[in-house]
């Protein structure tokens, strides 16, 4: 680092989105660093998924900037943002039915493959080598998320939790610089939560920046190095989990929200699960 401060990979400044008369996101300043796990929390309707939609290009922002490694990306189409290295998973997502586990992962690899139709016709050798390399990488990713034994099977044979792991493997197949995970632990069993926690640590350990929306504080607090809290579209806190937990504005924001409790992070992750 030569003593200089680390540079964020992704930066938003004054990011905003309005739906009709509703301000879903207002003036969001966010910095995401390589290899960091940054939690994004807030009561239902706080603007978390909207933040993902803006960063990933699913929706154009009404205000503000989004910079990826110094380049302005706000308003660019999703495939271009994916190609530049930002991949997101969805809050409610199912694998592509009728396809094998490998092929599901290969769908993700497609964004980073160089081979287009032209080289497929004029340079079939190169296309074949890329395909082989992508398949080898798909097997590696299946192993990384613990799905090796299902690799040649149909996705229909996977449990709900395994489907979520597959989704993470597919996102990684594009070799992203940043991954945005929308409630990856929702609906998982306690042991699957532990597994996905380890996987998320492993992703960050590879230097990939992780932005993580999570409702379950018991899951998030031990995992995230830093947490940003949204309430009614505005950032109300940004700091280490221990500070967030004791922040009066955060506690206040969650008082009316039955779906999550901030203080729960103090307990053993799955003591009562
Ligand atoms: N595509 C959309 N059209 C209209 N309103 C939306 C849309 N997406 C989100 N909203 C509204 O914006 C607010 C923030 O939603 P969202 O970002 O999904 O919240 P969160 O993910 O934090 O629960 C909510 O009031 C929601 O109803
Ligand atoms: Mg949401």
Domain 10-266 in CATH 3.30.310.50? The answer is no
pLDDT by residue, tens only, the chain of 273 residues: 455 678 999 999 999 999 999 999 999 999 999 999 999 999 999 999 999 999 999 999 999 999 999 999 998 999 999 999 999 987 666 667 778 888 889 887 766 555 555 666 667 787 788 888 888 999 999 999 999 999 888 888 898 899 999 999 999 998 999 999 999 998 889 998 999 999 999 999 999 999 999 977 788 999 999 999 999 999 999 999 999 988 999 999 887 665 555 544 444 444 443
For ligand 1, the distance from its centroid to the CA atom of residue 2, given in whole angstroms, is: 42
pLDDT of residue 93: 65
Q: Which residues surround ligand 2, an ion (CB under 5 A)?
A: 48-49
For ligand 2, the distance from its centroid to the CA atom of residue 74, given in whole angstroms, is: 20
Q: Residue 215: CB within 6 Å of ligand 1? A: no
The domains of the chain are located at 10-266
Q: Residue 25: CB within 6 Å of ligand 1? A: no
d(CA 210, CA 204): 6
pLDDT of residue 259: 53
pLDDT of residue 129: 84
Q: What is the 3-state secondary structure (H, E, C) of 41-64?
A: ECCCCCCHHHHHHHHHCCCCCCEE
pLDDT of residue 98: 77
For ligand 2, the distance from its centroid to the CA atom of residue 256, given in whole angstroms, is: 17
Q: Which of 37, 54, 71, 61 is nearest to 208 (CA)?
A: 37
Give 137's contacts (C-beta < 8 A, 6+ positions apart): 109, 173
CA distances from 147 to 58, 80, 130, 142, 207 (A): 29, 29, 23, 5, 22
DSSP letter for each residue of 215-260: S-HHHHTTT-SEEEEEETTEEEEEE-HHHHHT-HHHHHHHHT-TT-
CA distances from 146 to 4, 45, 139, 219, 249 (A): 38, 33, 10, 19, 39
The answer to whether 48 touches 41, Cβ cutoff 8 Å, is yes
Strands, sheet with 86-88, edge to edge from the N-terminal-most edge strand: 86-88, 178-182, 209-213, 37-41, 226-231, 234-239
């Amino acid at each position: 680092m030569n003593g200089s401060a680390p540079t964020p990979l992704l930066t938003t400044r004054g990011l905003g989105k309005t739906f009709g008369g509703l301000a879903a996101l207002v003036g969001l300043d966010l910095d995401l660093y390589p290899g960091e796990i940054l939690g994004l929390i807030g009561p239902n309707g706080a603007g978390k998924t909207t933040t993902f939609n803006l960063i990933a290009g699913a929706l154009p922002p009404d205000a503000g900037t989004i910079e990826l490694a110094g380049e302005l990306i706000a308003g660019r189409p999703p495939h271009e943002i994916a190609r530049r290295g930002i991949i997101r998973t969805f809050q409610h997502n199912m694998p592509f039915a009728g396809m094998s586990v490998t092929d599901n992962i290969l769908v993700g690899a497609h964004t980073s493959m160089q081979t287009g139709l032209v080289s497929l016709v004029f340079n079939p050798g190169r296309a074949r080598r890329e395909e082989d390399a992508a398949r080898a990488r798909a097997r590696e990713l299946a192993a990384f998320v613990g799905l090796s034994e299902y690799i040649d099977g149909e996705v229909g044979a996977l449990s709900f939790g395994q489907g979520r792991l597959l989704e993470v493997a597919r996102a990684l197949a594009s070799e992203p610089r940043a991954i945005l995970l929308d409630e990856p632990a929702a609906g998982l069993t306690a042991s699957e939560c532990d597994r996905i926690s380890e996987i998320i640590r492993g992703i960050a350990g590879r230097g990939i920046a992780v932005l993580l929306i999570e409702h379950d504080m018991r899951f998030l607090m031990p995992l995230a190095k830093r947490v940003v809290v949204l309430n009614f579209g505005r950032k109300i806190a940004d700091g280490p989990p221990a500070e967030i937990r004791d922040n009066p504005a955060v506690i206040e924001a969650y008082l009316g929200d039955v779906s999550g409790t901030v203080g729960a992070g103090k307990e053993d992750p799955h003591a009562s699960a």
